[in-house]
Structure 1
Amino acid sequence: MEQMHTVKEVAILFKLSTSSIWRLTKEGKLPPPVKIGLKATRWKQSELEEFIGAMESKGD
């Protein structure tokens, strides 16, 4: 099973606040999370890795 990350974990990864993560997600600047329950939302590890790789490529 693929590793999934909470908003708190994603915020730590990107060194942003959780509210910034939600804002960037809403703006379409971060991959969309997956609902895994009524109140649980997670980001897929593979999608975050793809996003980071794309951002690093743009920086070249």
Structure 2
Amino acid sequence: MQKLLRLKQVMAETGLSRSYVYALSKDGKFPKPVKLSEKSVAWIESEIKEWIDQKIIDRNQGLA
């Protein structure tokens, strides 16, 4: 079962600021949010976890 995370949860999980989450997402460097309603979005938890895992891999390979 997929779980959706709201912005505050994404910020807590990643340590990123609101504006940086949106900037990275816009540039295709972070998972895109899912539109829930006119004024509400969320992110798929598994995609956020994959992004974090990839950052760790990049670090361990000397890419970050």
TM score, norm. by length of structure 1: 0.83
The Cα shift of 1:16 comes to: 2.1
* Deviation beyond 2 Å, 4+ runs, structure 1: none
How many equivalent residue pairs?
60
The Cα shift of 1:30 comes to: 0.5
Matches within 5 A, 1:4-43: 4-43=4-43
TM score, norm. by length of structure 2: 0.79
Identity over the aligned pairs, expressed in percent? 33
C-alpha contact (below 8 Å) 2:11/2:18 kept by paired residues: yes
The Cα shift of 1:56 comes to: 1.1
Q: Tell me the C-alpha RMSD between the 2 structures.
A: 1.2
